Amino acid sequence: MCGLDHSAVMVRQAARRNAEGVRRGQVDLRLGSVESLAAFEVPFDKILAVNVTLFWDRPVEILGNLRRALRPGGRIALAFQPRGPGATDEAATRTGQELVAALRDAGFAQVRLETLNLKPAVVCALGVNPPVSP
């Protein structure tokens, strides 16, 4: 498992919470940004991003880079729950629809939106990296 965060504080907290996995080499925590994603030796099976997509200036471009980091058939999940003023189910749905469109534009297949009935709602846009055509 690999974790990426732009905050050194969050990376240190994750390292403390996952010390055993880090020690065994099962957890790789990195300080960095998805906007300047480094190359990885092996493609990922799954990618999860929670409440970060609103900070991306160029979501389709970033999602395209993430798709290239996924193995063919790999899955991506983009979860979002609005916070603070204006945190409504409608805001969640609107953002979810934007995430679905961005995933499609970035070349993901089998794109769909799931909603968890919390207050406010949590949406999760899901997609699959299509297999490479021969």
Please state which CATH class domain 42-134 belongs to.
alpha beta
- Is residue 53 within 8 Å of residue 78, measured between CB atoms? yes
Query: In the chain, where does the domain assigned CATH 3.40.50.150 lie?
Result: 42-134
pLDDT of residue 34: 87
Alpha-helical (H) ranges within 18-106 are: 19-23, 59-69, 89-105
Who contacts 14 (Cβ-Cβ below 8 Å, separation ≥6)? 3, 5, 29
C-alpha–C-alpha distance, residues 52 and 66, integer Å: 14
pLDDT of residue 134: 65
Q: Which residues of the chain have pLDDT under 50?
A: none
Give Dmax over CA atoms of the chain in angstroms: 49
Tens digits of per-residue pLDDT, 11-34? Answer: 999 999 999 999 999 999 999 888
